[in-house]
Amino acid sequence: MSMTVNGVRVSVPDDPRVSLLDLLREGLELPGTKKGCNQGACGACTVLVDGERINSCLTLAIQYEDRDILTVEGLAHEGTLHPLQLAFIEHDGFQCGYCTPGQLCSAVGMLAEFERGVPSAVTAEQRPGELTDDELRERMSGNLCRCGAYIGIREAIHQVWKGTAR
Ligand code: FES
Ligand code: FES
């Protein structure tokens, strides 16, 4: 069994108990994806599977045979940081940085969801097509930040969304 992680084909362990998070961090030595609660409550372990954001602590590696996994290590392209990474730096979207890889991967997936018109719990109350602060807060509510860097995180995501919105 194998999967692709950040563009590289890798083997999936035979042990069906290994979570995707543990495979990434311990098996593949990609420690960028963080283990916070290890029970689906904090979002620190967020990665993208075929472009969809998931909590990797809640999933088993064997579920993802032949799927494309993207972790924070794969966001930069040929030495150039992803626009969200640059915006997080510009807007002080982090302090200790522990939640940041999950915030970044989640934001990438969230912006793609928003672009596809996937609604959130507050969409009906918001201005259609506009990523309002309430909309952004709701859509990123699965990613906690113990340092409270939420203002900078939202500013950074907003800036990138404005740069890509049609
Ligand atoms: S470590 Fe996965 S949600 Fe907290
Ligand atoms: S920057 Fe420290 S937990 Fe978010």
Reported as a single tens digit per residue, the pLDDT across 52-108 is 999 999 999 999 999 999 999 999 999 999 999 999 999 999 999 999 999 999 999
Q: Is the pTM of this model over 0.85?
A: yes
Please provide the average confidence, as pLDDT, over all residues in the chain: 95
94 pocket-lining for ligand 2 (C-beta < 6 Å)? yes
Express as a percent the part of the chain with pLDDT over 70.
99
CA-nearest residue, atom 4 of ligand 2:
145
Cα separation of 50 and 46, whole Å? 13
CA-closest residue to ligand 1 atom 3: 40
What is the Å distance from ligand 1's center to 79 Cα? 28
Q: What are the structure tokens assigned to 136, written together?
A: 């952004």
What pLDDT score was predicted for residue 126?
84
Check if 47 has its Cβ closer than 6 Å to any atom of ligand 2.
Answer: no
Q: What's the first-to-final CA gap in the chain, in angstroms?
A: 40
How long is the chain? 166
DSSP conformational letter for 19: B
> Is 85 a pocket residue for ligand 1 (Cβ < 6 Å)?
no
Contacts of 21 (CB under 8 A, 6+ apart): 33, 35, 38, 45, 56, 57, 59
Helix or strand (DSSP H, E) at 11: strand 8-11
135 alpha carbon, distance to own chain's centre: 17
Distances (CA, A) of 49 to 46, 56, 148: 10, 9, 27
* Confidence (pLDDT) at 165: 55
The C-alpha atoms of residue 34 and residue 21 are separated, in whole angstroms, by 8
| 166 C-alpha to ligand 1 centroid (Å) | 33
Q: Is the pLDDT of residue 11 over 90?
A: yes
Sheet with 2-5, strands from edge to edge, namely 8-11, 2-5, 68-70, 46-49, 52-55
- Would you state the torsion angle of the CA atoms of residues 106, 109, 115, 118, taken in this order, to the nearest 10 degrees? -90
Report the pLDDT value the prediction gives residue 129, as an integer from 0 to 100. Answer: 87
Of 71, 72, 165, which is closest to residue 111 (Cα–Cα)? Answer: 165
* Ligand 1 neighbour 45 (Cβ under 6 A): yes
Give mean pLDDT, residues 11-15.
Answer: 92
Task: State yes or no: pLDDT of 166 exceeds 60.
Answer: no
**CB–CB of 158/89 below 8 Å?**
no
Q: Which ligand is nearest to the CA of 100?
A: 2
Structure tokens at 32: 């960028």
Rounded to an integer, the average pLDDT of 132-140 is 96
